Structure 1
């Protein structure tokens, strides 16, 4: 009987060890779900959407509905960058009918989204309308430089033929203080940079890897020429929350 009695402590330890990975996994999943909900992207761009986040052993499933097609990609890119995430299963649906690709409404949405991510323009005070792929901008700009930059960004969105900028230069500072909302998390920064580079025609085909640590963005991959590499740095550097950009892209040749 003594040998049998000695087995009890051994079994108890074995059971505890077996339960440890499950507990650790549960904590990680809870942390992933909480981090996504607290992220800058979810609290700023996706706050009007109905998104449910469920993580199981690092595999995250997104369900619910979003207002725009671009929100699906933005949600997925943000969650994918969170520590511990192995995979994202995106089951989000768009409310209502999505605009046809390359339609005027589709282009207007892309231009608005692109301007939202850039801190040196004021998307909230910029009205965007599109007719036959020609973008018209109205609203207020803090300076002539900001007005010109808004034109530059809108014109470089894939599908836009031309831009008519009718914005008024008010001279008042319209830049938001990012410190009001606290530090912008790295996952949100990476997601914004990825979408920006995808939407701009000059960088949409660039093979770029984006990583962010403490607000510093590191870019790697390939650029066709030095000008393309410099543009990627410029676009990434103007995204909300970015403190600095380290561009390690390789220039493969001229275009």
Structure 2
């Protein structure tokens, strides 16, 4: 693809995606790097726009310059946003009670605390990112240390092979205790996301270092 092709396709994908209002989103592409600029109404919409761009063939990286700016609502106070986050987290049955701490500054939410599983950490992020008044989420949740099984690497490799979205043969897996490093190449940005997700899903993974290159 030349530079104009991913730019055009990303624009078309943004127009097609119902969860994104692309009226104020600018798209620029150069050497496989797509820059998203302009404004959106919510943080959830900002992340959705990034996912749309990532699934386009030829996109190797994304520069995220979108700002969250809702022109139709009054500015939210940090206390209102914090209260909304706390209530939403307390109603989420997959999260242990009172384990997620919330701090809000200028609309940016910081999550902290310790959880058992990465899916819980991702759930806390998903719950808060969709709330009104949230401009961004910093996920500082940590995972509780557990013993690492001896067949750690093979279990992750098997998970990658089972995933129909991933060309597992092109991915190298390195383990160091409970840390997993993914290297080598994948053909699409969406496969990189899927590989990282599959690695996180393995029991006892505490950290995933995604060094995969999109070619």
TM (normalized to structure 1)? 0.35
Answer with 1 or 2: which has the greater Rg.
1
TM (normalized to structure 2)? 0.39
Compare relative contact order (CA 8 Å, sep 6+) and give the higher one, 1 or 2: 2
